[in-house]
Chains A and B, each alone.
Chain A
Amino acid sequence: MISTILNQYRATASVVAVLAVIILLELLGFRSAIYPSLLPAFEWIKYSTPIGVIGTTYGSIYATVEALHLISMATIGGLVLATDLRLLNVVLRDTPSETIVEGTYKVFKVALVVAVLTGIFCAAGVADKVYYMPVFWIKMGVLAAGSVFMIFFKQPLLSGVPHSEISPWSIRLLAVTSILIWFTVAATGRWIGFS
């Protein structure tokens, strides 16, 4: 019976399991134990790797990569809005939502890879600063959650099945969650600059 339920609600069970592991690790003090040991790695990234050295030495290159990061985030934003506002029946109502979901995903993945690569470069140049910023760690957490959500939950749930067969509330929940996640990633990224 348990295996039947688990098979039926595999995605939900996975989320619950991941959340349970995170809570358990937090209760066992895993984060507090590992956090100090990460500082040498952050200092090494800034002072000993090519990306860290280029980022700290050449301001114009750093600013240009920052701009590329913003452009890739803007592209992600446009794709997320077009897809999720369609799922919420706000825009593109005369186009099947299945077509929009399938058609935007490939470019979304490219934009996400560019955003992550340029983001690593930007963080490397100020690695010893971002290490101490809670907002940086929040951004990393939300970014990881967003990537997992998109690749393992939202896209598999919405692909290969007519959306009319999925509960409208599930679709709305997926769309709202997606918009919230990606705007939180962008907002926390902006706040790193102010911290």
Chain B
Amino acid sequence: MINELLLQFGHWMEAQEYSQMLVSGYYSYNWVEAIHVLTLMVSIGSLFVIDFRMMGWLLPNVPATTIAHRLHKPMIIGFVIMFITGALLVYAKPVETIQSLWFRIKMVLLLLAFINAWIFNARLKAAEGTWDNDPVAPKNLRSGAIISIVLWCSVVTMGRYIPYDWVDCANTSNTTILWAAGCVDQLNAL
């Protein structure tokens, strides 16, 4: 049911004039994709600096909350640009993207990354002032930082897999993959 609804939504988006303009303009699509990838350096780059500090790998002599608070703004700016350009990339190729297994895994990982960030921020706030000058963060913050690094590395990897067609609807007959990727037509034809 959810797969059918998502596919209908994809077809509706694909029929939009601006979606067609975006995907047919060689440079417009490439520019959006380039900005999406380049803002990784601002968003995930800043996030990694914060996570590395929590792990004690970077700037152990600088208070951790100072790093976290001061880099929060550029990191958020980076993420906002990344999400806008990411949404535009989906809007340009909606059916293809919605039926991509890698895109779906990426969305689940993104959700997990945000839940982890929310828990991490709550823990950081609760522990503020108790360990700030220690070279390594307390265990619960370190685990949050390492989960963040792993999740975001996985998000980037899934994003990199999306253009490849190994498990596209047309290239697989495995029903579990077809269901997970939302290949409605292929499932109905079985």
Contacts and interface: CB of A to CB of B under 8 A. Distances in A.
Interface of A: 59-60, 63-64, 66-67, 70-71, 73-82, 85, 91-95, 99-100, 103-104, 107, 182-183, 186-187, 190-191, 194
B67 interface: yes
12 contacts: A59-B164, A60-B166, A67-B161, A76-B45, A78-B48, A81-B46, A93-B70, A95-B70, A100-B59, A107-B52, A182-B41, A190-B34
Nearest to B158: A67
Nearest to B50: A78
A186 B42 contact: no
Interface of B: 30, 33-34, 37-38, 40-42, 44-49, 52, 57-62, 66-67, 70-71, 73-74, 153, 156-157, 159-161, 164, 166
B40 A67 contact: no
Residues of B contacting A: mostly:
helix
B39 to A, nearest CB: 9
Contact of A81 (B33, B45, B57): B45
A71 B153 contact: yes
Most buried by B among A73, A74, A75, A85: A74
A60 B158 CA distance: 11
A74 B75 CA distance: 12
Contact of A99 (B37, B38, B62): B62
A178 to B, nearest CB: 13
A100 B59 CA distance: 7
A191 B62 CA distance: 37
A66 B45 contact: no
Contacts of A187: 34, 38
A73 B46 contact: no
A190 B38 contact: yes
A73 B41 contact: yes
Which 9 A/B pairs are nearest by Cβ-Cβ distance?
A: A77-B41, A78-B45, A77-B45, A67-B157, A103-B59, A67-B160, A74-B40, A74-B44, A92-B70
Contacts of B166: 59-60
Nearest to B61: A99
B59 A104 contact: yes
Contacts of B159: 67
A71 to B, nearest CB: 5
Given A75-B48, A78-B47, A79-B45, A67 B66 contact: no
Given A91-B70, A92-B70, A103-B61, A66 B34 contact: no
A66 B48 contact: no
B62 A70 contact: no
Contacts of A81: 41-42, 45-46, 74
A76 B49 contact: no
B40 A70 contact: yes
Q: Looking at B38, B41, B73, which has the most chain A CB atoms within 10 Å of its CB?
A: B41
Nearest to A90: B74
A110 to B, nearest CB: 9
